[in-house]
Structure 1
Amino acid sequence: MPIKFFIDQGHNPSGNVNAGAVGNGLYEGDITYQTGVWLANLLNNDPRFEARLSRPSPTTVLGTSNTTSLDARVQAANLWPANYFISIHCNASENTALNGSEIYIYQYYTQANWLAQRIMMQMTKFAGTKDNGIFAAPTLYVLRKTAMPALLIELGYLTNWNDAQKLYYNSYPFALGIYMGILDYFGFLPQ
């Protein structure tokens, strides 16, 4: 039986409620959509896994407010039910020098924590971003309300020129790094 991953492409398309961050002409919902599609394709082409997307098309809009948008994602994962939940995001800051990748989990010393460590190691290797660390954030809705180990991955900063170039021109290495981290977590990478 395949291991089921719910891939949540954080936020909605630009121009809609809960559209996410903007920086260097990039919209978070657009970057997360494409990265999620690549990750789901990698997982679905591996018979050990099955993946579903929160936004199956680029025009999919979830919810009518931030709260209902987040709830729709969590409910879809819980009802499936998924074995793991990965929410993909992009960061932004007024300080344009800030850069790098971060992963948020509900609690340290859990399966989500171990998975996050493997994903961070592989994602920063493939995408070339800085490892900013893994942080417990129990107040985040998608980490608090999911019934399975859950991660919220901040790929990079849209407001940082170098991160934005990586995210705009080729976000595939981020998806590949997440996939390789999943393989590493399950012991599927050749030693």
Structure 2
Amino acid sequence: MAIKIFIDQGHNPTGYHNTGASWYGLDEQDVTYQVGIYLAEMLNSDPRFEARLSRPTPDTVLGTNNSTSLAERVRMANEWPANYFISLHVNANPNPAINGTEVYIYQLYTQSNWLGEAVLDGIVEAVGTKRNGVIARPSLYVLRKTNMPSILVEMAYVSNPSDMEKLRDNQYQFAQGIYNGIMRYFGFAS
């Protein structure tokens, strides 16, 4: 039986126009959409996995505001039911020197923690971002309300010029890094 992974492409361009972080002309919702498409293609080409997307098309509408959008993402994953939940995001900071990749989880020392560590390492190796670690953020709705091991991946800082270039130019490599981390987590990596 295939391992079911729900890929949540953070933010929602239509409906209520929450595009997420936006710097240097690059919108978070566009990056998360495309990285999610690449990742789902990689996972679905492997018979050991089945992947579903929160936004299968660029104009998929999820909810009418932030609360209903988050609730819809969680509902989709829980009702499938997914075995794992991966939410893709792009970070930003008023200080343009802040950079790197981090993964948020509900609780340390859980399956989410181990998956998060593997995915974080995969991204850092594939893209060359700074490794900022796995951080417990139990207040995040999608981590708190999903019924399966869940991670929220902040791929890089769109507010940092070097990270922004990676997010703009290396979206396939971000997906490859996440995929490599998933493979390592399940012991499928060579």
Q: Give the structure-2-normalised TM-score.
A: 0.98
Q: In percent, how many aligned pairs have the same letter?
A: 60
**Any idea what the Cα deviations from partners look like across 1:86-107, whole Å, max 9, x if unmatched?**
0000001110111100100000
1:166 corresponds in structure 2 to 166
User: Secondary structure in 2 aligned to 1:6?
Assistant: strand
Q: Distance in 1 between matches of 2:165 and 2:91?
A: 14
Say which is worse superposed, 81-90 or 15-24, in terms of deviation.
Answer: 15-24
Q: 1:19 corresponds to which residue? A: 19
Query: C-alpha displacement at 1:162, in angstroms?
Result: 0.5
Q: What is the aligned partner in structure 2 of residue 112 from structure 1?
A: 112
- 1:43 touches 1:49 (CA, 8 Å); kept in 2? yes
1:49 offset after TM fit, Å? 0.3
| Contact residue 23 and residue 158 of structure 1 kept, 8 A | yes
Give secondary structure in 1 for the equivalent of 2:108. Answer: coil
CA 55–13 in structure 1, closer or farther in 2 if over 3 Å, else same? same
Cα distance in 2 for partners of 1:61, 1:128 equals: 33
Q: CA deviation at 1:172?
A: 0.8
1:95 equivalent in structure 2: 95
- In 2: Cα distance, 1:14 partner to 1:125 partner: 33
Q: Secondary structure at the match of 2:56?
A: coil
CA RMSD of aligned residues (A): 1.0
Gaps of 5+ in 1: none
Paired with 2:163 and 2:172, the residues of 1 have a C-alpha distance of 13
1:146 is aligned to 146
- Aligned residue identity for 1:54: S
* Aligned pairs for 1:59-78 within 5 A: 59-78=59-78
1:82 aligns with 2:86: no
Question: Deviation per CA, 1:126-182, whole angstroms, max 9, x where unpaired?
Answer: 011000111000010000000000000000011111011011112111100000000
Structure 2, unmatched stretches of 5+, are: none
Question: What letter corresponds to residue 174 of structure 2 in structure 1?
Answer: F
Per the alignment, in what secondary structure is the counterpart of residue 60 of structure 1?
Answer: coil
Give how far 1:72 is off. Answer: 0.5
Q: TM-score, normalised by structure 1?
A: 0.97
Q: How big is the shift at 1:16? A: 3.7
Cross-structure match for 1:8: 8
Q: Aligned partners of 1:160, 1:21: CA distance in 2, in Å?
A: 12
